[in-house]
Structures are given as C-alpha cells and as structure tokens.
Amino acid sequence: MSTTDTSSTPRVVVLTGVLGGIGSAIAELMHDEGYLVVGLDRCPPPDGVIPKSIDSFIQCDISKLVGDTEEAVVLGQSIVDATQKISGSNKLTALINNAAYQVVAPIEDTSMTMWSEVMATNVGAPFALAKLFLPQLTAAKGSIINIASIHANLTKPEFVAYASSKGALVSLTKALAVELGPKNVRVNAVLPAATSTPMLMAGFDGKAEAFKALEGMHPLQRICEPKEIAEFVEFLAGDKCHFITGSCLQIDGGIGSRLHDPV
C-alpha cells in the first residue's frame, strides 16, 4: 500500500530555496517526474524569468514565519493558499526544506542577530512549514524531506552557527518522524557534503589547487553533483520507500567514514 495517495490529485511538492544550486536541481528532476513544484526563495528569479520547472513561485523570506506575529500568519497563509490553488486540493505530496542561511565566522564575530537568522531560516522555518502543511501532508500520506548537511556531524572552525542549525535540523527530523508516524507522514533528512553548486564553485575560482584538495578529502575523489542529491530526494518523496522514516543519510562520497579532514 502506497504511503502517498496520488489517485485523484496531482503530485505537488513545496520546495524552499528553489533557485539555489541544489534547489534548482531538485525542482528540475521533480518537474521531469511529473510533480507540480511550488517554489519558495528569498531572491527573485534571474532576469525576472521563472524557470519552467517551477509551476508556482513565491518570493519570500521564510525566516519571517518564525514568531507568533501577524506577519508570520499572513505569510504562512499565502504559501498554503498558493499551494492549494495549484494542487486543486487539500493534499501535499512532499514538503522539501532546502533553503539555508550560512554564516562563516569565528564565534567572536558571530553576532546574536546572525545566530538568530541562521536558526530561524535553517530550523525554525522547517518547523513552521511542517505545522502549516500538516493537514495537507496527512491527507496525502506525504512526507517531509529536510536538506541538512554533513556539518551536522563533521564540521570545522567558523561554522558554529551553521553546524549547530544543521544538527538541530537532524534532531527535528527524528522527532517529527516519531510524532508524525501515526499520521502516515514520513520525515527524513539528507546530509550532503561539498556540492558543486554555482556558489561553491565561485568560491574556488582561480583556486585550482584548493579545489583539488577539497576533492581529495572525499574517498571518491570528487565532490557531489546537485542532481545526485535531487535523485535521492525524489526517491524519498515517492512510493518506493514506504517504511523509511526518521532516516538521516549522508550523501558525502565517503568523507563521513574518514578519521580526519572533514569538509
């Protein structure tokens, strides 16, 4: 028996951070597999053109969902309304929490404002969206997929806020899986290591030796491609993993099995 009821309604996913490297790859694959994609991003689409892989685009800052404020209520309702409009029903196949805010700074230079924004975007917003869409996810016997990070388990200096938020997201994944299991809502997380996104690659522009060293840290001698993450997300959203919930898989090229040199 499938955990996702797709008999009478289209398969719809809500994807945050849809315009980023990983988000774009997920949107493209989900679209190709027949899903309707409701994409959220704090940035406008490049050149004002919404990619064809996104069926409905909402430009918003999901960190604003955190807090018992009128702004949070209005924003949350607008996201739910847009999703119901495109689905034509009260069902949601999957909520994919991909958006993230990263601060790279030593603790002395990490302000409480920075800390709060990282936590609100990376942990608070996924929690808020899970609450908002719980009725729709329950009705569809759907799933929540959180894009965490290898930094939840293996990190390095100056990533204290980001690593802490991703560790919290992993714990949120497990706690929600336990609580929502009786509602037939599955919750899983994906923990990528270094991934070939435009943002990461731009940081290595003109630094061939540093990039080669990064690749060499991974036993597979390369970094991850965004599509490799998207493929696993699509699997978790589908009907071939009925008994998988509370799982947190490192997609890391083996770096998590090394004794040293974390990403």
> Which is more confidently placed, 142 or 252?
142
Residue 261 located in a structural domain: no
Residue 238 located in a structural domain: yes
pTM for the model: 0.92
**Count of beta carbons in the 10 Å neighbourhood of residue 4:** 20
**For residue 5, what pLDDT is reported?**
46
Residue 18 located in a structural domain: yes
Helix (H, G, I), strand (E, B) or coil at 57: strand
Residue 197 located in a structural domain: yes
Residue 4 located in a structural domain: no
Q: How many domains does the chain have?
A: 1
The DSSP code sequence of 205-226 is TT-HHHHHHHHHHSTTSSPBPH
The pLDDT mean for the chain works out to 93
**For residue 139, what pLDDT is reported?**
97
Residue 101 located in a structural domain: yes
Residue 258 located in a structural domain: no
133 contacts: CB under 8 Å, gap ≥ 6: 14, 80, 83, 92, 95
How many degrees, rounded to 5, is the angle at CA 180 between CA 126 and CA 227? 50
Which residues are the active-site residues? 162
- CATH number of the CATH domain containing 79: 3.40.50.720
pLDDT in tens, 156-197: 899 999 999 999 999 999 999 999 999 999 999 999 998 888
180/135 Cα distance (integer angstroms): 11
**Domain boundaries, position 128:** 12-251
Mean pLDDT over residues 34-62, rounded?
96
Mean pLDDT over residues 241-254, rounded?
94
Residue 5 located in a structural domain: no
